[in-house]
Amino acid sequence: MNTLKSISIKGMFVAFLVSVSSMLLADELNLRPGVTEISRSVYDLHNLILLICVVIGVVVYGVMFISMYFHRKSRGHEAAQFDDNHTLEIAWTVIPTLILVGMFIPSYGVLKEIYNTDNAEMTVEVRGYQWKWQYKYVDEDYNNSFSFFSNLATPRAQIKNRQVKTETYLLEVDEPLRIPANRKVKFLVTAEDVIHAWWVPDFGIKRDAVPGIINELWAIVPEPGTYRGQCTELCGKDHGFMPIVVEVLPEREFDLWYQDKVAEKIALDQSTKTQTDTEFLTVSSGG
Amino acid sequence: MSEVVHTDHHDEHDHGPEKGLLRWLYTTNHKDIGTLYLWFSFLMLFIGGALALVIRTELFQPGLQFIEPAFFNQMTTNHGLIMVFGAIMPAFVGLANWLIPMQVGAPDMALPRMNNLSFWILPFAFGMMISTFFMDGGGPNFGWTFYAPLSTTYGPPSTTYFIFAVHLMGASSIMGSINIIATILNMRAPGMTLMKMPLFVWTWLITAFLLIAVMPVLAGAVTMMLFDIHFGTSFFNAAGGGDPVMFQHIFWFFGHPEVYIMILPAFGIVSHILPAFARKPLFGYTSMVWAVASIAVLSFVVWAHHMFTVGMPLFGQAFFMGATMVIAIPTGVKVFNWIATMWRGSMTFETPMLFAVAFVILFTMGGFSGLMLAIVPADYQYHDTYFVVAHFHYVLVPGALFSIIAAVYFWFPKWTGKMYNESLGKLHFWLSFIGVNITFFPQHFSGLAGMPRRIPDYALQFADFNMISSVGAFIFGFSQLFFLYVLINGIRSGKAADGLSWEGAKGLEWTLPSPAPYHSFTQPPKVS
């Protein structure tokens, strides 16, 4: 009976260790490393803290399970009557303090790096609306700034289960934010109505979009590709339906796209201007 | 240790309870009011739980199947509000009412009429809040944290009812706290010095001070909302020169101590149950008291860790990260003390002990994820995802709620004079334990994979975790209906219980007969 029990306890312990280590290894269960330097250091930080927690957990739960197994009345264990032990109490105050200091220092290092928005090569204003994002490419002298909205592109029929859901269900937009690879892009995050939050997990950045306040974020993305995120602050009815899609283009490709956009914008400005003039003339001649 | 003189004076009138339903309306008796609080919170647990099951049903699969997003937001909001203010807090006040007079050797609470009032406010407060479901525009739909301007400029018309409901809940809590403080400081039996008080009494004394400190802050926040909505002020409206972030600072200055209000009494309960079933004195009584006190003090300087992504100066982030990490130290001390209490004891695992041990294990899990959330750069990835949902449900469900259930089983014989059925209790434990972990453990993974909280529909990669979570939620929800059955079964047909219902139980309440007399101690016991 006892051997059976001890085998099952050992088995449980092994199963626990295996499951914990497989948790650490299995990518789909862990945080994703992302693609930027920042997101990788956040990922490393996350793994470090997780590991510390798992080790502490194994020790604490281990002692607890040993006690629950051996110190049972049904095994005839007599209760000891001690109720303090100063050495132990000092140890379990001081050791956690040291561990915490050890966790604080690298965390502060990464945090400082995240806060360094200097030397950005371009700036995009990100503005949250109920329930879409607006991206504005801020030109240095504001003459050629252009902007567009980015709306959910998933058809209603998919949401209402009348159509088969595609792989990018709820994570697709009509016009994504486009940024160049390998350049430091600064994001100015704000909102028009209520608070939203702009998050691209693969860049390791998230910031609230608060009306009346402009928050700064930055990213350098080495890998061209499409990256997806979602609004992460409850912002009303369609909070779950305002995704973020960022298309990172190779630098040359981005520059061409950007020039096109600016040209388009200038043409649009002129056409509206002409229109206004004509309207003005029509009105005055009519009067 | 203590000596009780039982005298039966029958020369006074008004000794037993009144007959009929009016007993419950007029009662000023701490046991009756405790019972009212406990049944009320149980009802709220089922209402809040039903809302949670609506949420989990919608989230069972991707796509919108059953409810619309606007209604979903009302579900999450009211689930949170009802569970926090309707289930957990009143349950702890109910336990305080039942136990504190018995544990300090008093006949009743110090302020019995106010006690009656503080309970009877609650049904009206919640009646008002729940009635908003049936109003035009629906009930509160801005999350239980009701961030402005979503709750002010963009809130539904029923928000005013919500504001007054919160005011009533706050008034009730403040009155309850004053009563508890007055009882503890004035009505202890001779010889019971502060450092001889049972830990449940200590934790509630500290909790009551926290409540008195922060409930007015909450009242201030909702009053400013009221003014923004109706009287044209702009406290939280950026367009009028106000600041939406200020709302969050005020809310969380209330909200973080509130988190500890919901866990400190749980620490007290577990510190009674573990020694009783380990048949061994509590390890480190003094350090337990100091740990609770320091957690309470620290709870006032960590509020902004709920808002790391809001945009704060670097120094602010570092300060709140550091302060939050410091809380791990006293909390760790408590966990280590509990384990040292179990160590080399002579343990048996009746239902209250099972729930208390599960509390230590699973609350610690919540502590670990809390520590991870304190690390600001990592928090950017966790914030407002299901990782946070998993974290606070681990500290509130197998944390606070398990401790309440453990307390109900532990003191059940003292309250009713009957013993619940042990096998049914154990079955209830295992169903709850398995259910709670199936529900909340996968939420760590969906959070790490990037699923935001408070969304009615989700991308396909989160589907498996959500399905598992929903199955667990139904197991957990229905096992609480089973809990109701176990209790009713115990009250109706349980075996008679002894005064000392558990072999290893210590404390004044166990010197009383079971069920405890209507006026606990008519003669103060002597504590040596």
Residue B3 — pLDDT band, cuts 50, 70, 90?
very low
Residues forming a β-bridge with A216: A188
Cis peptide before B149 (omega within 30 of 0): yes
pLDDT, greater one: A127 or A7: A127
CA atoms within 13 A on the CB side of A272: 5
**In this predicted structure, what is the pLDDT of residue A285?**
46
CA-CA distance, A167 to A28, in Å (whole number)? 16
**In this predicted structure, what is the pLDDT of residue A287?**
36
**From B79-93, B213-227, B375-389, B513-527, the region with the lowest mean pLDDT:** B513-527
**From A218-227, B335-344, B389-398, B516-525, the region with the lowest mean pLDDT:** B516-525
Task: Please name the residue of chain A whose CA is at the shortest distance from the CA of residue B279.
Answer: A79
Q: Which two tokens stand for residue B15?
A: 């000794």
Contact A83 B284 (CB under 8 A): yes
Average of pLDDT values for B430-435?
97
Q: Which two tokens stand for residue B162?
A: 């919500």
Backbone angles phi, psi at B102, to 5 degrees: -70, -35
Task: Please name the residue of chain A whose CA is at the shortest distance from the CA of residue B325.
Answer: A100
Residue B10 — pLDDT band, cuts 50, 70, 90?
very low
Q: Is the dihedral of CA B226, B230, B234, B239 positive or negative?
A: positive
Task: Please name the residue of chain B whose CA is at the shortest distance from the CA of residue A209.
Answer: B310
**In this predicted structure, what is the pLDDT of residue A50?**
95
B260 is catalytic: yes
Using a CB-CB distance cutoff of 8 angstroms, which residues of chain B are in contact with residue A213? 238, 243-245, 311
**From A56-70, A267-281, B255-269, B318-332, the region with the lowest mean pLDDT:** A267-281
Residue A2 has pLDDT above 70, yes or no: no
**In this predicted structure, what is the pLDDT of residue A286?**
42
Specify the pairing of strand B526-527 against strand B2-3: antiparallel
**In this predicted structure, what is the pLDDT of residue B12?**
47
Q: Which ipTM was obtained for this model?
A: 0.91
Q: Is the dihedral of CA A209, A210, A212, A216 positive or negative?
A: negative
**Total-model pTM:** 0.92
State whether residue A27 sits within 8 Å of chain B by CB: no
Q: Which of B161, B260, B303, B409 is catalytic?
A: B260
Q: Which of B173, B207, B432, B470 is catalytic?
A: B173
B347 min Cα distance to partner chain A (Å): 4
Contact A237 B154 (CB under 8 A): no
Model confidence over B110-129: pLDDT tens digits? 999 999 999 999 999 999 99
Using a CB-CB distance cutoff of 8 angstroms, which residues of chain A are in contact with residue B468? none
Interfacial A residues in 242-281 facing B (CB < 8 Å): none
Model confidence over A132-149: pLDDT tens digits? 999 999 977 667 789 999
Using a CB-CB distance cutoff of 8 angstroms, which residues of chain B are in contact with residue A114? 377, 380
User: What letter does residue A78 receive in the DSSP assignment?
Assistant: P
Of B239, B283, B378, the CB nearest to A45: B378
Residue B9 has pLDDT above 50, yes or no: no
Residue B155 — pLDDT band, cuts 50, 70, 90?
very high
**In this predicted structure, what is the pLDDT of residue B67?**
96
Contacts of B96 (CB under 8 A, 6+ apart): B34, B176, B180, B204, B265
Q: Which of B271, B341, B403, B416 is catalytic?
A: B271
Q: Is A134 helix (H, G, I), strand (E, B) or coil?
A: strand
Task: Please name the residue of chain B whose CA is at the shortest distance from the CA of residue A207.
Answer: B309
**In this predicted structure, what is the pLDDT of residue B152?**
95
Residue A265 — pLDDT band, cuts 50, 70, 90?
confident
Count Cβ–Cβ pairs < 8 Å, chain A vs chain B.
269
Please report, as a single letter, which amino acid is at residue A207.
R
**In this predicted structure, what is the pLDDT of residue B21?**
86
Model confidence over B242-273: pLDDT tens digits? 999 999 999 999 999 999 999 999 999 999 99
Q: Which two tokens stand for residue B171?
A: 């008034």
Q: Is B350 helix (H, G, I), strand (E, B) or coil?
A: coil
B496 min Cα distance to partner chain A (Å): 24
